[in-house]
Structure 1
Amino acid sequence: MTFENKVAIVTGAGQGIGFEISKQLALQGAVVILNDIDTPLAQQAAEAITAANGRCIAMPGDSSDVAFIQQMVHTAVTEYGRLDIVIANAGITLFGNFFTYTPEAFNRVMQVNLGGTFFLAQTAANQMKQQPQGGSILFTSSVTGHQAHKDLAAYGMSKAALEMLAKNLVIELSAHKITVNTIAPGATLTERTLDDPSYERTWSELTPMGRPAHTQDIANAALFLVSDHARHITGQSLIIDGGWTSISPSPF
């Protein structure tokens, strides 16, 4: 795969899966606009990719804010002339018991996970449909959109909805040569999950392949789905979980 001279936006990319996707895109030739709501984290991530000889600029901001979404797409087009790839990776997880889950928590999860993704896809697609080559859009779902997880009713609901959104957008986008797919990662070793000292051991025991994913496992799948090799794949969701959803043992 090569992404030479492609222009990409990746949200929620200051660390973890989003950062690895951004890095691999940049190292394979893309110009990456890297977004994170944490300004220092976004800048550090972009600097790290640039230091590794990738082309990357930071655009810190709230990826669920429609005005900011429009600014990201405008920057891509004015600075680089086009927008080829959009990866809506930003999302938040707010655990909570169903019986006491607050409207504030529910609305924030939906605003970021669904609203941010929906309007980024909308804004990007309005640009991509003006381009002869179209483009590729990718959403980040989760295995919790396929299997129930304790205290994640709202989060799992939002992730399942993203997969339906990708299917529905096939109707809208295919005529414009725009693909739209979803990845659904399972347990993955990131800076956040490694804060839990038992995380790797627990998920190594629960995962049929004997370990949780590394961020590069997820990035490899993401890059394939936004590459020219996948131009005839759209409306699909790819689960990347080492087989966990096939047997679904609970960590609780």
Structure 2
Amino acid sequence: MDLQGKVAVVTGSGRGLGLAYARALAAAGAAVVVNDIDADVADAAVRAITADGGKAVGVVAAVGDSEAAEQLTEAAVREFGRLDVLVTNAGILRDRVLWKMTDDDFDSVVKVHLRGTFTCARAAAVRMREQGEGGRLILISSPAGQRGNFGQTNYAAAKAGIVAMARTWALELARAGITVNAVVPVAATAMTKTIPAFAPAIEEAERTGAPLPDWLRKDEGLGTVDDVAGLITFLASDTAKDVTGQAIGIGGDRLALWAHPTETAVAFADGGWSADAIGERWHDGVGAEPQTYGIPAPKAPEA
């Protein structure tokens, strides 16, 4: 993919998945605005990109408020003259079960993930519409937002909201030639290394440099952060100019298209449904095959 002449902002790109996205975009020719809350981390990311021959500048800002969003957009225009691509990757975790989750646990995660995606996308959309040449909004979601996950009320709700915003903005920005998609990544990161079924294989791969085993890369769709980056580059490119409003999963050897919520069973009753009528017909009617919920527990092959 050739992204020469394009300018991208990647939030939360000092390390991990965000850094992989920024490096991949730069390797394809885009100039990149790197963002992190730690100046040393942001500087190191910029150095890594420029050492590989890419163009990058760092912005230290905590994503969430409008001021940070404007700062990122203004840096792209000031340093590189325009803005073509936004990747909203910044995020934090404050995992707790419902009865132990505090207001701050909830609000802080929603502020960074959901509000931060909104404020950054709004600032980018304003600039892209002014330029009149289209653009790309690539919003990072999560399997937790698609299925729910134990202990992640805040995170799952925010990530589900991000997919809903992608579908809404795809409608609103279509006439401006701006595509909007949600990416649902799975990769070996500090977070996934805490999952007992994954940890031994990830640690062994890191120790030896060997690839992750097939059961992880295929069955679980989990690989390295670099395995995810190709989708970001594709969505940023002209090749993906007609791809919008989608939730796309990627990880390891797996690329997937997530379905949007749809009715799976329907029943009708003349005059409407009373509580008693629903109770009488639920288990052998609409509710006969209930939907699953939660991310399925990973299963390592037996030795």
With the length of structure 2 as denominator, give the TM-score of the two structures.
0.76
- Secondary structure, aligned partner of 2:180: strand
Aligned pair in 2 of structure 1 residues 180, 232: CA closer, same or farther (>3 Å)? same
1:96 alignment counterpart: 96
2:297 alignment counterpart: 250
- Secondary structure, aligned partner of 2:36: coil
Q: Tell me whether 1:172 sits opposite 2:219 in the alignment.
A: no
Report if the CA contact (8 A) 1:134-1:177 is conserved.
yes
- Secondary structure, aligned partner of 2:60: coil
Considering only aligned residues, what root-mean-square deviation do their CA atoms show, in Å?
2.5
Taking the aligned partners of 2:200 and 2:153, their CA distance within structure 1 comes to 25
What is the one-letter code of the residue matched to 1:4? Q
Aligned pair in 2 of structure 1 residues 59, 207: CA closer, same or farther (>3 Å)? same
Q: Deviation per CA, 1:115-159, whole angstroms, max 9, x where unpaired? A: 000010000000000123211010000011112321112211110
What is the one-letter code of the residue matched to 2:176? H
Quote how far apart the aligned CAs of 1:225 are. 1.2
2:129 alignment counterpart: 129
What is the one-letter code of the residue matched to 1:213? G
Quote how far apart the aligned CAs of 1:183 are. 0.3
1:13 alignment counterpart: 13
1:213 alignment counterpart: 223
Q: Deviation per CA, 1:218-237, whole angstroms, max 9, x where unpaired? A: 11111111211100011111
Q: Deviation per CA, 1:28-51, whole angstroms, max 9, x where unpaired? A: 111100001122111111111111
Taking the aligned partners of 1:202 and 1:250, their CA distance within structure 2 comes to 16
1:48 alignment counterpart: 48
2:247 alignment counterpart: 237
Taking the aligned partners of 2:38 and 2:235, their CA distance within structure 1 comes to 27
Q: Deviation per CA, 1:90-138, whole angstroms, max 9, x where unpaired? A: 0112110111210011000110000000010000000000123211010
Report if the CA contact (8 A) 1:206-1:249 is conserved.
no
Equivalent position to 2:238, from 228, 231, 236 = 228
Report if the CA contact (8 A) 1:206-1:244 is conserved.
no
Quote how far apart the aligned CAs of 1:209 are. 3.3
Greater RCO, 1 or 2 (C-alpha within 8 Å, sep 6+): 1
Aligned pair in 2 of structure 1 residues 86, 167: CA closer, same or farther (>3 Å)? same
2:158 alignment counterpart: 158
* Structure 2 unaligned regions, length at least 5: 203-212, 259-291
Quote how far apart the aligned CAs of 1:196 are. 7.1
Taking the aligned partners of 2:22 and 2:251, their CA distance within structure 1 comes to 20
With the length of structure 1 as denominator, give the TM-score of the two structures.
0.91
Q: Deviation per CA, 1:196-215, whole angstroms, max 9, x where unpaired? A: 78634478656643662211
Report if the CA contact (8 A) 1:207-1:244 is conserved.
no
Taking the aligned partners of 1:26 and 1:240, their CA distance within structure 2 comes to 20
- Secondary structure, aligned partner of 1:190: coil
Deviates more, 1:126-135 or 1:136-145: 126-135
- Secondary structure, aligned partner of 1:181: strand
- Secondary structure, aligned partner of 2:219: coil
- Number of aligned residue pairs: give it: 251
Structure exhibiting the larger radius of gyration computed from Cα positions: 2
